[in-house]
Structure 1
Amino acid sequence: MFPLKIFTSSFLLYSVILYTNAKMGLIEQLDKLLQYSGWNNLNDLKFIHYYKKPHFIQHLEATPTRIKNYDYKVRVLTIYLGCTYAKVMQNLYPIIRNLIQDCQRKFYIKNDFINGCFSTKKLLNIISSLIVPLATLLKGAMNTLYLLRNKPWCNMKSYSYMVSFRLEKFENIFDHINKHIQSHYNIFAYHEVLKTVDNFFIYIMSEINNDTTQFCVFVPFDKNCLWNECIQEYKPSIDVYLPLLFLEFITKKIKNYIQTVITEKYFHLGFIFDPITEETTLATSEDLMELELEFKETDEYPLKPILIETL
């Protein structure tokens, strides 16, 4: 009986040591991540609300991570990141919304079916080659940070794993569109596509806005700022407005904005993209940080094409 007690005590002590060492390793990994310059430059938020308490990024960076508050800190940082990424999507949405309305005007008001079809294809290409890859990277960063936790996130509605679920839905947008198109071989398919895309973004942005209302306290900003900036920059050419040139201009503007986001709010936060596994991982001291992401610019159909044809 006595040897059994010794064995039990030794096993428990050994388990405690292993647990402590494992958790200290996670703490060290988190603290290294927070040393990346991007965390200090996240200035989109005043603070976030979590468990009815305000949390500031400056305090989170400066406060040493302890074993007892490790999981809590990971969750707070994940929410902070989610709020940051929510603002990115809020900045992009007015551009997508205005492009959808422009396509609809070509069809319903101007009866300009040729430019309407072309503009719709261009819109889908923007979503496929720019918006979807961005959402994938941002979701990957949130997931990677979340997986640093020691204990699973409790499935509580009041403190859910915000925004990441919304970003994931963008990856399936073309499956969603194809599912809702009844016909693929006439002009009305374009109308269905525009309506489906519009409803999809309205629904997703409504969910994102609900998340941000619960958790995020932003520095005041104009959600239409990026779109208004596009209009102002293109204004010198407005008198000789050419729809196709404007779409090219908008595409480049979105691409530049997304590249800035990926540099400042992804790479500079210590995340890298593994092209082999197509997953986000944490950067190590051996990694050479690639601060630019190459996006393919193409006039072809999106990466997941919509099965519609012109007349």
Structure 2
Amino acid sequence: MISLKLAKFGFILLSVILYIKAYSILKDKHNQFNKLLQYSGWRNLNELIFIKHTSKMYYLQNLIKTTKDRNKSKQKIRCLTVYLGCTYANVINNLFSIISNMIQICQKKMNEENDLINGCLFTEELINIISLLIVPLATLMKRAMDDLDLLHIKPLALQIRTYMISPHLGKIENELGDLTEQILSRNDISSYIWILNTLDKFLKNIMIDINYDTSKYCKFVPFDTNYLWNEWNQEYKTVIDQGFKLIFFKFLTKKMKNYIQTVIIQKYFQLGFKFDPITEETFVPTPKELIKLELEFKATDEEPPMPISIETH
């Protein structure tokens, strides 16, 4: 009889301990989220008019207000994860539009103009850009989304069904990463043609998936997907007209690097996300941490190392 009473008491005690622990975890996550919203970058996300979630419209100015209500906090976390996904989808749209145009230039050099030397050089430059800039950016954006989502009591990332944009960012990270590791042989031009065609197909397919998601969740401020390309082309023409000699692909590489640097600062660090350069992990600051901007991503005019494998003989 005493053993039964002890067992019942032990069960009650365990339940109380687990409840207190769960309460403490939820409180910490709630405070972490409110801390994240104090970063100024959230107020500067201006690509969207609103997002749609559970058949309702949500506006940024309401989502980024801190709250003591934990139920409202859960709703805000879910909606802001969608909002962040829409924002990152817009970034991918901009970059993939540029890359698609660059692929066309490479293909034209090799197929129509029979300029194999520049066709190969431009292709190698393009693969460098994707490997050194696009793939790491997709990784950062996915981890930022996942870490924000993990502040929710029921993270979508841990469920069987996934949530918008993040899986596509993972696909960009993995499949583009694998693709850029393919060996190119200057003695076999077909390897260059193959990688350009494969890249082109991948970009078109991933954008179909991303645009499908954004059509359901995101109401963007009207914009031209080619605005960066047109703007950079005009800037390049201005530079050339002034008598400066500059290879167009080198110019585009620098412009893309500057754009990605700006994205990382404004849509990652200024949103409060932190990066551990040792583990290469993203994490959300604790409530006790001081708000400060960490810029691990630094600008440099040095040429990046070439990560792709090229057979020259």
Task: Please report how far the alpha carbon of residue 67 of structure 1 lies from its aligned counterpart in structure 2 after TM superposition.
Answer: 2.7
Structure 1 residue aligned with 2:297 = 293
Task: Please report how far the alpha carbon of residue 298 of structure 1 lies from its aligned counterpart in structure 2 after TM superposition.
Answer: 3.2
Q: Determine the C-alpha separation between the residues in 2 that align with 1:54 and 1:241.
A: 51
Q: For the structure 1 residues 185 and 20, does the alpha-carbon distance in structure 2 shift closer, same or farther, using more than 3 Å as the test?
A: same
Answer whether contact 1:48 1:215 (CA < 8 A) is retained.
yes
Q: Determine the C-alpha separation between the residues in 1 that align with 2:282 and 2:184.
A: 36
Q: CA RMSD in A?
A: 2.7
Structure 1 residue aligned with 2:83 = 80
Ranges in structure 1 where 5+ consecutive residues have no aligned partner:
none
Correspondence 1:53 to 2:95: no
1:121 maps to amino acid:
E
Q: Determine the C-alpha separation between the residues in 1 that align with 2:273 and 2:147.
A: 8
Correspondence 1:64 to 2:67: yes
Task: Please report how far the alpha carbon of residue 272 of structure 1 lies from its aligned counterpart in structure 2 after TM superposition.
Answer: 1.6
Q: What is the correspondence of 1:105-120 to structure 2 with a 5 Å cutoff?
A: 105-120=108-123
Ranges in structure 2 where 5+ consecutive residues have no aligned partner:
none
Q: Determine the C-alpha separation between the residues in 2 that align with 1:215 and 1:254.
A: 27
Matched residue SS, 1:64? coil
Structure 2 residue aligned with 1:208 = 210
Answer whether contact 1:272 1:280 (CA < 8 A) is retained.
yes
Q: For the structure 1 residues 111 and 19, does the alpha-carbon distance in structure 2 shift closer, same or farther, using more than 3 Å as the test?
A: same
Structure 2 residue aligned with 1:268 = 270
Task: Please report how far the alpha carbon of residue 221 of structure 1 lies from its aligned counterpart in structure 2 after TM superposition.
Answer: 1.1
1:43 maps to amino acid:
N
Q: What is the correspondence of 1:1-311 to structure 2 with a 5 Å cutoff?
A: 8-62=11-65, 64-153=67-156, 155=159, 160-172=162-174, 173-176=176-179, 185-237=187-239, 245-283=247-285, 285=289, 289-291=293-295, 293-294=297-298, 297-298=302-303, 300-301=305-306, 303=307, 305=308, 307-310=309-312
Answer whether contact 2:89 2:210 (CA < 8 A) is retained.
yes
Q: In percent, how many aligned pairs have the same letter? A: 48
CA deviations 1:79-109 (Å, max 9, x no partner) are 1100000001111111101100000000111
Q: For the structure 1 residues 300 and 263, does the alpha-carbon distance in structure 2 shift closer, same or farther, using more than 3 Å as the test?
A: closer
Q: For the structure 1 residues 51 and 241, does the alpha-carbon distance in structure 2 shift closer, same or farther, using more than 3 Å as the test?
A: farther
Q: For the structure 1 residues 201 and 294, does the alpha-carbon distance in structure 2 shift closer, same or farther, using more than 3 Å as the test?
A: same
Answer whether contact 2:168 2:206 (CA < 8 A) is retained.
yes
Task: Please report how far the alpha carbon of residue 178 of structure 1 lies from its aligned counterpart in structure 2 after TM superposition.
Answer: 5.7
Matched residue SS, 1:280? strand
Higher alpha-carbon deviation: 184-193 or 209-218? 184-193
Answer whether contact 2:120 2:192 (CA < 8 A) is retained.
yes
Matched residue SS, 2:152? coil
2:150 maps to amino acid:
L
Q: Determine the C-alpha separation between the residues in 2 that align with 1:242 and 1:135.
A: 34
CA deviations 1:225-267 (Å, max 9, x no partner) are 1111101101125579999611111111111111111111100
TM-score in terms of structure 1 length: 0.87
CA deviations 1:107-138 (Å, max 9, x no partner) are 11110000000000011111111111111111
CA deviations 1:9-47 (Å, max 9, x no partner) are 454444333322221111011000011001111111111
Matched residue SS, 1:223? coil
Q: For the structure 1 residues 244 and 102, does the alpha-carbon distance in structure 2 shift closer, same or farther, using more than 3 Å as the test?
A: farther
TM-score in terms of structure 2 length: 0.87
1:131 maps to amino acid:
I
Answer whether contact 2:187 2:311 (CA < 8 A) is retained.
yes
Answer whether contact 1:144 1:281 (CA < 8 A) is retained.
yes
